[in-house]
Amino acid sequence: AGNITAKSSKQFTINCTTTCSGLTVTDPTTPNTLQTIGVSGTNVSFFIWKNTGGTFTSGVYDGTYDGYKTTGGSINWLSPSSGTPQVSVTPYNSASQAGSSCTASIRVADFSISLSPTSQTVTKPTEASFAITKTYINGWELLTGNAITYSVKSCPSATAGDCYFSGDNLKIKTANLSAGTYTAQITGTNSTHNLSRDSNTVSLEVAVSNNWGITVLPSSNSVTAGGSTTYTAQIRDTAGNWTSSVNPITCSIPGAGTKITCSVSPTSVAQPSSTADVVVTVNTASDAPAGNYVLTVT
């Protein structure tokens, strides 16, 4: 319905061909933002405004024309939450004869954030890392004050600081987590335009490796029937998987019967940072049968 003339990076003007000119809108605009849209005219008695999105907050709805009526060349319009709605205006003279309409498409700037991958598995205590992607919609990058900050909406760990940001990455510490499946989500916020958007929810599976073991020293020993001997069981733990409450230390000598027995002292240890030693004692009766036996510590 006319020519588009750029006024700045955030405004354009559509010139009408007959009795109105200068339909000016702010583009891009932000969601749920009020702006005044203006037009000038010659021999105009009133204007009829229509829109495909958003809300007119001034003017009076006129059922005859199925639009909002103003006697002046401006109207207040509240943008919707998203999309590219159109606003049109038609001038009428005193005889209610219509001139040429002018139509403007107004981009409602927005952004979204997403986390990837959508799921991953890490072995405790390895940190998990999810990349953050920002997507600018309808010219968000053209807005002044378009910076987006991140905050954690949900974190697998209740320990402060276990979910944190490193650049455009969400990091999750797993040292305080048990084996299992967890979810995480973040929020992107722009304070200038009072806009927040939540990311997708991602899944994190924490696995616990068997990165611990027991070494019994010496590897072999001998004892005379009726005597006893001792071994040292070294317990190694580098992944934080050993806990005395769920892992009591026991020993056995398969096939030895009651004539050859073993005992462990202590029967449990606190979680060691590297290694912990326990003493395994093998006792034999005077009539213990001779032979080779295997000592097992678990």
Q: pLDDT tens digits for 121-156?
A: 999 889 999 999 999 999 999 999 999 999 999 999
Q: How far apart are the first and last CA of the chain?
A: 85
Residue 165 pLDDT level (bands cut at 50, 70, 90): very high
> Is cis: bond before 156, omega within 30 of 0?
no
The answer on 87 and 154 residing in a single domain is no
Q: pLDDT tens digits for 171-226?
A: 999 989 988 999 999 999 999 999 999 999 999 999 877 656 788 999 889 999 99
- pTM, two decimals, is 0.64
CATH for 52: 2.60.40
Q: Is 112 exposed, middle or buried (0-12, 13-18, 19+ CB in 10 A)?
A: middle
Q: pLDDT tens digits for 37-69?
A: 998 877 888 999 999 999 999 999 999 999 999
pLDDT of res. 18 = 43
pLDDT of res. 239 = 56
Token reading at 30: 């932000």
Tell me how far apart the alpha carbons of residues 17 and 38 are, in angstroms, rounded to a whole number.
Answer: 16
The answer on 68 and 143 residing in a single domain is no
Last residue of one domain, picked from the residues 70, 105, 140: 105
Beta bridge partners of 24: 13, 38
Token reading at 228: 């006893």
Q: How far is CA 131 from CA 79, 119, 169, 279, in A?
A: 32, 11, 5, 49
Q: Region 69-81: what's the mean pLDDT? A: 95
The answer on 265 and 220 residing in a single domain is yes
Share of the chain above pLDDT 90, in %: 61
Q: How many domains does the chain have?
A: 3
Q: Region 157-162: what's the mean pLDDT? A: 89
Averaging pLDDT over each range in 34-48, 110-124, 263-277, which range is the top one? 110-124
The answer on 12 and 88 residing in a single domain is yes
Q: pLDDT tens digits for 15-31?
A: 443 455 668 899 999 99
Q: Is 155:165 a contact under the CB 8 Å cutoff?
A: no
User: What are the residues whose beta carbons fall under 8 Å from the beta carbon of 208, sequence distance 6 or more?
Assistant: 123, 124, 178, 179, 239, 241
Last residue of one domain, picked from the residues 172, 192, 207: 207
pLDDT of res. 1 = 40
Q: What residue numbers bound the domain in which 234 lies?
A: 212-297
